[in-house]
Structures are given as C-alpha cells and as structure tokens.
A and B are shown apart, each in its own frame.
Chain A
C-alpha cells in the first residue's frame, strides 16, 4: 500500500487507519531525528529523543489517527522530549559528538548553542531549521505569538553574544 507522506502530513481530516499510522511513524523517523538533533545538537541525545517521541506517538496512536496535522502534533512531542532530555543531559564537550567533519565553525556553533538556554535553542531550531512561522511556533510551544517574537530576538542576541566570546 503506497501512501505519500504528504497525504497524511498536509492536514487531511480523514481518520487514518492503523496501517497508515505505522507508515507515518516509519517515514517520519529521519525528520524526527534531525529535528531532535537541531535542538539538542548531540547525535546520541537526538537518537534517544526520536525514539522516545516514536514510543509516545505510538502509545497515542488513537489521537494520531484523528489529529488534523500529524506533523505539527509530532513536532510538539519531539520538542517536549528534547526539553526533557536536555534537562537530564550533563553539559559536555561536543568534540566527540560533533555532527560535521569540519572541526571549526560547525563545532563552534554546537558549543555556542549548548551554552544557550534550552528555550532559546528550541526557538532557534524551530525558526532556522524548521522554517516555521511565529503562529506555528506559538502553537507548538503553547505560548503567545508576542512571546515567540521576543524569545526569538533574545535567542539571536544571546547566540551572537556567545559567538563573540
């Protein structure tokens, strides 16, 4: 059975079958992992976050069958799992966990991001990695749109300040 990812991601309101949910949870794994990586900056933590998000989504598959926008719903789960994981993960040197082979600026970005507040990392990832609008971020984080704007401004300023250090 071939079902395109877009058909169940782009807000189809039809209740999905269990098989469709299985396909969805299989197809979104790369995206879940990369979003988790963008937030946590660490591959090992990102893998745990993606796995935890998959388990939570699977446990709530009845809800996933009926939800209008599964991608937005899954994104919220990933963000929550990432917040929990970051709070439990000790800060470490990301040298052994770096994403890129380039040891200069990419590594510096990881180090700078790891020094930011968790909420700032999340909002930077949602804007720069996911390309979400303020309204979508407000939905995902369950905060007012005005808070999104101010938090993003603060996050960018904090990133620039840490970058210069």
Chain B
C-alpha cells in the first residue's frame, strides 16, 4: 500500500459518493405513520361503503345466533304451512298431542 493513507481515504469516500443505490431502498415507499396505513385501504370508498364493510366485519349479532334465528323462523313457517310436521316433531320429542292421548 504505497498510496498516502489520507488520499486513499478520500478516494474511498469519493467511491461512496458515487455508489449505486440499492433498488430495494429506492422502490420501498416512504414509511407511513400507522394511522395513514389504516386509512389508505379505504381511500376512494364512500362513507356508506365503509359503514357497510364495518357492519359486515362486525355484525351486531354473532353469525351463529343469526343462523339459529333463521332456522327457527323457517321451522315455524313450515309448521304453519304443514301442521302434520308439527305433530311429527312433537311426537319425536316424546310429547303427546290431544288426539293421540
């Protein structure tokens, strides 16, 4: 190493000044604050759409309860349409009807 050390040091820093920038560093978006990252996915949506999405994501009733309610409603409709189903169901549950007693 015959070069003067300070000259070599300056040349090294000159290399650093011209060093290529990693593509990953250039491509990455500027890091955003957390609140902005939360808001960006909803950019462009109307308020109604956002409320709709929130209702879908966080329903007021758990889905299981909704399913059970729907099943009960369907069952009652069927019973009204076909009373014999009610009798059969009642019998299946071990009950007795007035006319079977």
Interface residues of chain A, those whose CB is within 8 Å of chain B, are 22, 25-26, 29-30, 33-34, 37-38, 43, 47, 50-51, 54-55, 58-59, 61, 99-100, 105-106, 108-110, 112-113, 124-125, 128-129, 156, 159-160, 163-164
Quick one: closest B residue to A57, CB to CB?
B31
CB distance from A104 to the nearest CB of B (A): 8
| A29 pairs with B13, CB closer than 8 A | no
Interface of B is mostly: helix
Interface of A is mostly: helix
Whether B57 is near chain A, meaning CB under 8 Å from some CB there, is: no
How many contacts between A and B, using CB within 8 angstroms? 79
Q: Cβ of B8: which chain A residues have Cβ within 8 Å of it?
A: 105-106, 108-109, 163
CB distance from B37 to the nearest CB of A (A): 11
Q: How many residues of B contact A (CB 8 A)?
A: 24
| Contact for A99 among B16, B26, B33, CB less than 8 A | B16
| A34 pairs with B19, CB closer than 8 A | yes
